Amino acid sequence: MNEQDQYNKLTKEEERVIVYGGTEMPFSGEYYENFKGGTYVCRRCGKPLYRSGDKFESDCGWPSFDDEIEGAVRRFTDSDGVRTEIRCANCNAHLGHVFYGERLTQKNVRHCVNSISMRFIPEKE
């Protein structure tokens, strides 16, 4: 079985971001302004990544979280040698980047995540 066959089928744009490390346009993602209760899961494999309670408004153009679900995200030095790239720990899907020291929250960390890399599962009413 091909590695791609074990994951959700992706559109060309999803593949550009998730598989090849691209970035969606700022302020364009479907979850940028979503502050409903629920869980954000990896679009590629469906594993939970972030809880809505850790999402905050950073005005950066992408969904921002100051914490991840334990063990869900791996960090790598980006190819630019400066930023820290974040990927799904389960399937290695590119999520975005993590930044430290911006003092936007008490945790002092910002996961800047492409909406296209996630799906939102709302809390049950």
Any idea where the domains of the chain sit in the sequence?
3-122
| Bigger pLDDT: 86 vs 5 | 86
Tell which residue, 55, 61, 69, 73, has the closest CA to residue 110.
55
| Bigger pLDDT: 27 vs 5 | 27
Catalytic center residues? 112
The fold adopted by the segment(s) 3-122 is 2.170.150
Q: What is the per-residue pLDDT for 125?
A: 55
Q: What is the per-residue pLDDT for 5?
A: 64
Strands annotated E in 14-117 = 38-42, 48-51, 55-56, 64-65, 73-77, 84-88, 94-100, 109-113
Q: What is the per-residue pLDDT for 79?
A: 86
Q: What is the per-residue pLDDT for 1?
A: 41
Mean predicted confidence (pLDDT) in 85-103: 97
Strands 48-51 and 38-42: antiparallel
Q: What is the per-residue pLDDT for 2?
A: 47
* Angle made by CA atoms 62, 19, 107, in degrees to the nearest 5: 40
Mean predicted confidence (pLDDT) in 64-81: 95
